[in-house]
Amino acid sequence: MNAQVRKPFEEVLGYLEGKKKIVLMGCGGCATIFHTGGQEDVEEMAGKLEKEGKEIVGKIKMPFAVFTCYLPMSSMFLKEHKDEIEQCDAILMQSCGDGLQAVRGYLEEEMGIVKPMYPSNDALGFSSGGPAKFREECQACGECELGKTAGICPLVQCPKGLMNGPCGGTRPDGKCEVDPEKDCAWVQIYRRLEKLNSLNEYSQILEPHDWSKQTRPRMLEIEPIDLHEKLGETKKTLEALGI
Ligand code: SF4
Ligand code: SF4
């Protein structure tokens, strides 16, 4: 998921200077998990902005698991709040930048609405874990190397992104020379290969990483899912788990 933190409130206020009528839009995905755009976070932001003299004309509070960046779901909420969006001076997006831009595009291209939009969060990139601690594991490089590196990504775990063994600065205790708090990526890879009884793979020479696949912005076209069918499956699975 896309880890994110709240921007300082002063920065948000700065964006909204001169704007009176505000619509807030949260996100039921990552932003709910990171307390940056869940339903309670939208209410909290509304209270803080009202104290600063803003008029909150709309609160688009997405339920958990409804992703702002997934337009087949979020567009239903945008349509429901069309009148409020039309009358506002600005929209504050309590999502990641991906969610903001997805909504901006939909409003302009599908609903014919052009409004100033501002982010309330700073996105930090892919992270995994939870419920409290999350760790960056992947930078979406476009050419996954995990099949060659024992399932540990040196592009993320090594500050130098080295693909063919350690830099020579690894500390005697196996920590990274750049960050003594972390194990060297290549020590982690060695230890995992050892557990897998595959240490012979450690000395294989890997081809240079193809950074051309990192070129942005990327586009991807897929076969759309059947949203109602998938939500039905989720409901059944949750019920079976007693949730
Ligand atoms: S090589 Fe690393 S950064 Fe690239 S896709 Fe795989 S895990 Fe992500
Ligand atoms: S010590 Fe290991 S993780 Fe740190 S920079 Fe060198 S190779 Fe990369």
149, 156, 178: residue to mutate for ligand 2 pocket, most atoms within 8 A of CB = 178
Assess whether 94 and 174 both reside in one domain: no
Domain boundary among 79, 100, 129: 129
CA–CA distance, 24 with 39 (Å, rounded to integer):
10
Instruction: State residue 243's pLDDT score.
Output: 87
Assess whether 27 and 54 both reside in one domain: yes
In a domain, 45, yes or no: yes
Assess whether 121 and 181 both reside in one domain: no
Assess whether 125 and 148 both reside in one domain: no
139, 126 in Cβ contact below 8 A? yes
Per-residue pLDDT of the chain (243 residues; tens, 9 = 90+): 999 999 999 999 999 999 999 999 999 999 999 999 999 999 999 999 999 999 999 999 999 999 999 999 999 999 999 999 999 999 999 999 999 999 999 999 999 999 999 999 999 999 999 999 999 999 999 999 999 999 999 999 999 999 999 999 999 999 999 999 999 999 999 999 999 999 999 999 999 999 999 888 899 999 999 999 999 999 999 899 998
How large is the C-alpha radius of gyration of the chain? 22
Assess whether 16 and 95 both reside in one domain: yes
Distance 99 CA to ligand 1 centre (A): 22
- CA–CA distances in Å: residue 177 to residues 27, 123, 151, 170: 39, 27, 22, 5
CA–CA distance, 66 with 69 (Å, rounded to integer):
9
Assess whether 82 and 122 both reside in one domain: yes
- CA–CA distances in Å: residue 35 to residues 41, 51, 64, 95, 97: 6, 21, 12, 10, 15
Determine the Cα angle at 121 with ends 215 and 92, to 5°: 110
In a domain, 227, yes or no: no
CA–CA distance, 29 with 41 (Å, rounded to integer):
13
Assess whether 202 and 110 both reside in one domain: no
Name the residue at shortest CA distance from atom 7 of ligand 1.
138
Assess whether 11 and 120 both reside in one domain: yes
Domain boundary among 129, 160, 190: 129
Tally of domains within the chain:
2
Assess whether 37 and 154 both reside in one domain: no
Distance 120 CA to ligand 1 centre (A): 28
> Which residue range is the domain that position 197 belongs to?
141-214
